[in-house]
Amino acid sequence: MDSKVIVITGGNTGIGLETVKALYQSDQHYHILLGGRNLNKAQIACQNIITEAAQSTVVPFLVDVESDESIEAAFDQIAAKYDRVDCLINNAGACFDAYIDQGMTARQAWNKSWDVNVTGAHIMTTKFLPLLLKSQDPRLLFITSGLSSLQGASDPENPKNIFAPAGLPKALPFVGYRSAKAGLNMLMVEWSKVLRNDGVKVWAVAPGLLATSLGGDTELLKRLGAQDPKVGGETIRRVVEGKREKDVGKVVREYVSPIQPW
């Protein structure tokens, strides 16, 4: 097919959905495979996106990145229909810190955060690599977070870094999520090295603070200055379309500075 084949996980909501919309509305031609862990929701998302005037197409597929069996089934389904994947966007992600002591233990929340944000992305990449390597211009994206920067989190001059007074209790907001996304950055670096001689271009993308349901409280995010999720979708689209070629192997963004410090 002439259209570039895009596979995206977590595509029926939040930044993933806005990324699909941005690609679908682009003047370039795409065949977008919108992955969701609930097929009905993925189907509804596609129906809401499709317009007669668009040059691109979008179809749903079922994938739960916490399940090896689900990833395997998704690959088998896609490989049976397509001879390649031109871009894999590992977007599926979640934050569970707010649920600690609200139905989840700290260990459960941390393990689930790592499983969704990091392990799932690694297994997806590993499984879909044979199709990605058949592309003439293969691209691999990991959607990270501005909260993942070690330098940013440890900078004493950063007003967002609050140093707690002595004594108990101690609060560690978003630390499970931040740790997982820092791990995702390392995963991106390792895949970038491994795939360099195969011609696969690899990035992590930090789309910015966006008002999504990721942490369970959209209104709180808005009060903290979160922007419309479509801003993140456009940022990711520009990476897919070749606007950040010189920044392969880095965490790219479009706020504060173009490269996020490690």
At 48, which amino acid appears?
N
The predicted pLDDT at position 2 comes to 83
The predicted pLDDT at position 109 comes to 97
Residue 215 has pLDDT above 70, yes or no: no
> Could you tell me which of 88, 154, 152, 87 has the C-alpha nearest to residue 121?
88
Residue spans of the domains in the chain: they are 4-259
Contact (CB, 8 A) for 109 and 100:
yes
Active-site residue among 177, 192, 201, 250? 177
Residue 218 has pLDDT above 70, yes or no: no
Sheet holding 201-205, edge to edge: 57-62, 30-36, 4-8, 87-90, 139-143, 201-205, 251-255, 257-259
Which has the higher per-residue pLDDT, 39 or 212? 39
Query: What is the tens place of the pLDDT at every residue in 138-179?
Result: 999 999 999 999 999 999 988 888 888 999 998 888 899 999
The predicted pLDDT at position 262 comes to 95
Bridge-partner residues for 203, per DSSP?
A: 141
The predicted pLDDT at position 217 comes to 57
Across the range 28-41, mean pLDDT stands at 97
Least confident of 65-74, 173-182, 193-202, 203-212: 203-212
Query: Per the CATH hierarchy, to which homologous superfamily does domain 4-259 belong?
Result: NAD(P)-binding Rossmann-like Domain (3.40.50.720)
Query: What is the tens place of the pLDDT at every residue in 36-55?
Result: 999 999 999 999 999 866 78
In whole numbers, what is the pLDDT of the chain averaged over residues?
92
Which has the higher per-residue pLDDT, 215 or 80? 80
Residue 55, token pair as written in the block? 């040059």
SS3 content of the chain, % helix, strand, coil (to 5): 45, 15, 40
Active-site residue among 181, 192, 201, 250? 181
The tokens 């929701």 sit on which residue?
41
> Could you tell me which of 165, 152, 238, 155 has the C-alpha nearest to residue 203?
238
The predicted pLDDT at position 172 comes to 87
Residue 198 has pLDDT above 70, yes or no: yes
Bridge-partner residues for 139, per DSSP?
A: 87, 201
Look up 145 and say whether it is catalytic: yes
Active-site residue among 56, 113, 135, 145? 145
DSSP symbol at 51: -
Query: What is the tens place of the pLDDT at every residue in 245-259?
Result: 999 999 999 988 999
Residue 199 has pLDDT above 80, yes or no: yes
At 46, which amino acid appears?
C
The predicted pLDDT at position 173 comes to 84
The predicted pLDDT at position 226 comes to 61
The predicted pLDDT at position 135 comes to 98
